[in-house]
Amino acid sequence: MADALDAPVRQVANPHYFVATGAGLLAFQRLGLLDFDDIASRVAVRREYQPDPAHRALYDDLATQFVRAFERTRPLFRALNDEDAHR
């Protein structure tokens, strides 16, 4: 994932309740009990994955191919989603 995003990816130490933990931390921030910049320091990280620069060209090429495929199939998906055409 870090290679595809070209950014570090952090694996949280305890993912089981992370959605609830994140919601709680954001609630504290909105209540003014915690600064937004302090949230990251309150989340335990098990491991951090760094992007491998050797893979950058591969993911750039794949992204280009994905955009081309999206552009070529856009008319098909528009036609499939055209409600007037199905009445």
Interval 34-80: pLDDT, tens: 999 999 999 999 999 999 999 999 999 999 999 999 999 999 999 99
pLDDT tens digit sequence for 6-40? 999 999 998 999 999 999 999 999 999 999 999 99
Amino acid 83: pLDDT: 77
Confidence band (pLDDT; 50, 70, 90) for 82? confident
Between the alpha carbon of residue 26 and those of residues 12, 23, 33, 59, 79, the distances in Å are 17, 5, 10, 33, 41
Distance (Å, whole) CA 65 – CA 60? 9
How much is the pLDDT for 30? 96
User: If DSSP codes are grouped into helix, strand and coil, which group holds residue 10?
Assistant: strand
Angstrom distances, CA of residue 30 to CA of 20, 34, 41, 82: 15, 8, 17, 41
